[in-house]
Structure 1
């Protein structure tokens, strides 16, 4: 079984390397039948993402590609909405990915968690007084509050705070206290029936050896009857299907019997 859809992808409209047109051509070459574009919504603090005045051009280009590829490649126009992003301009998309790339400390300051290890270290020290688990708690609390209010089509990279945590640099991912925080947050999203992505992006960029979320969280999703979809979080055309086959093997080994794939008609369940 090969995946036919990839819906977490970024282009030159935000922080991607390639144009939507180049991504569409690459998707067809790589055997995809559905390609979703999920440009980042604007994060004003950093001037990052697609500004409201550029959203019409983004939508127009994706609509143009839908027509150009009709009958050969189904194209969806989505948005990856950030917890920091303003709510304006988020309606009318084919789908939304709800993500958190930053955490707010007790003073109200936002700290980006996926930029560099050095910035993450500053967040722990300056934002949370050196208490990495306090940052973890805040991150998961804020992610849950945000996505439960937004109700996105899919929840993005659930445990993104582990991106720079190789060798447990900041906190012990095997420790009971960390796992309790992550599991409690995940349970809230599963109880709400939200779909979670199994995201290979940090592997392609050399930060992780396994997808988000971690294996113990995948087992929790399975035990709870939760649903997952596989995504590449691609920022370049050559990464649209990165680690897809290996991720399907991982899901089979974990005990999953199916995954979801998004089309214009909604979610489709595909057996593994």
Structure 2
């Protein structure tokens, strides 16, 4: 099977995306995509503007399943959720999968749990969220804050076993070299601890292009060092554009594929007829 175009991480108007799911499907067909997976941010008990409302979950499931059937002869449509992991707060991924009938799960961390039970470090969004949360919740201690992020990611991998791990090093996005260097020994050690957890889990690492094409990051999520280690260890990867608009469905896809080949990857993992399979990159 020759590698074609796909993306399994897509946000529609059911969460913080801009258009209805069918608009993405139609654009995907125009772009010659083989598959599109919808992955709205799952409802959270924490009040955030970017997650799906619990009251809309059933409508979301119905609509994606309807599109699956309606467009089955033109491209594969899959039902997923991007599931945030917050220890002691978020619902188990297996429960989401069973309840919603998901084809696969994407696990991510956007809200880092601090010592205060009811407050979180939001690592996405504007730079000011990052710096303000760092000061307020971690007293400006970047090593403590970033360690909390990776330990939460590791706990998610070990306890929730997501099929795909979303933008695993997104913690770097709003750093922009201000608070730490990715070459510092303590940071590299955290990457290796995370890699150890991924390797044991069998989860797939998503190579997410959104930071690059939105000009929020100079490097992919994850960056070159992490990807080189994935290649050495035989950790499976897939490409995601994390589209929030139909026009973003294949943004930076080809550039990403070329970068992965340069790193040394020969195969990529794709979802096909209910299972993850390897194909040539």
TM-score normalised per structure 1: 0.95
Q: Deviations over 1:153-209 (max 9, x none)?
A: 10111001011122x112111212211112212221112211110000111221012
**Counterpart in 2 of 1:190?**
199
- 2-structure distance, mates of 1:264, 1:165: 39
**Counterpart in 2 of 1:12?**
13
- 2-structure distance, mates of 1:156, 1:14: 16
Does the CA-based 8 Å contact 2:64-2:77 persist in structure 1?
Answer: yes
**Counterpart in 2 of 1:130?**
140
- Written as runs of structure 1 = structure 2, the 5 A alignment for 1:123-202 is 123-166=133-176, 168-202=177-211
What's the offset of the Cα at 1:52? 2.5
**Counterpart in 1 of 2:40?**
39
- 2-structure distance, mates of 1:52, 1:93: 16
What's the offset of the Cα at 1:4? 2.6
Question: Is residue 82 of structure 1 aligned with residue 84 of structure 2?
Answer: yes
Q: Identify the match of residue 273 of structure 2 among 261, 264, 268.
A: 264
- 2-structure distance, mates of 1:183, 1:135: 17
- 1-structure distance, mates of 2:133, 2:39: 27
RMSD of aligned residue pairs (Cα, Å):
1.4
Question: Is residue 203 of structure 1 aligned with residue 212 of structure 2?
Answer: yes
> Unaligned 5+ residue runs, structure 1?
none
Q: Deviations over 1:202-237 (max 9, x none)?
A: 112210122100111001111111100000011000
Does the CA-based 8 Å contact 1:227-1:260 persist in structure 2?
Answer: yes
| SS at structure 1 position matched to 2:189 | helix
Bigger mean CA deviation after superposition, 229-238 or 41-50: 41-50
> Unaligned 5+ residue runs, structure 2?
none
The structure 1 segments of at least 4 consecutive aligned residues displaced by more than 4 Å after TM superposition are none
- 1-structure distance, mates of 2:168, 2:195: 8
TM-score normalised per structure 2: 0.92
Does the CA-based 8 Å contact 2:103-2:274 persist in structure 1?
Answer: no
- 2-structure distance, mates of 1:224, 1:6: 24
Does the CA-based 8 Å contact 1:52-1:89 persist in structure 2?
Answer: no
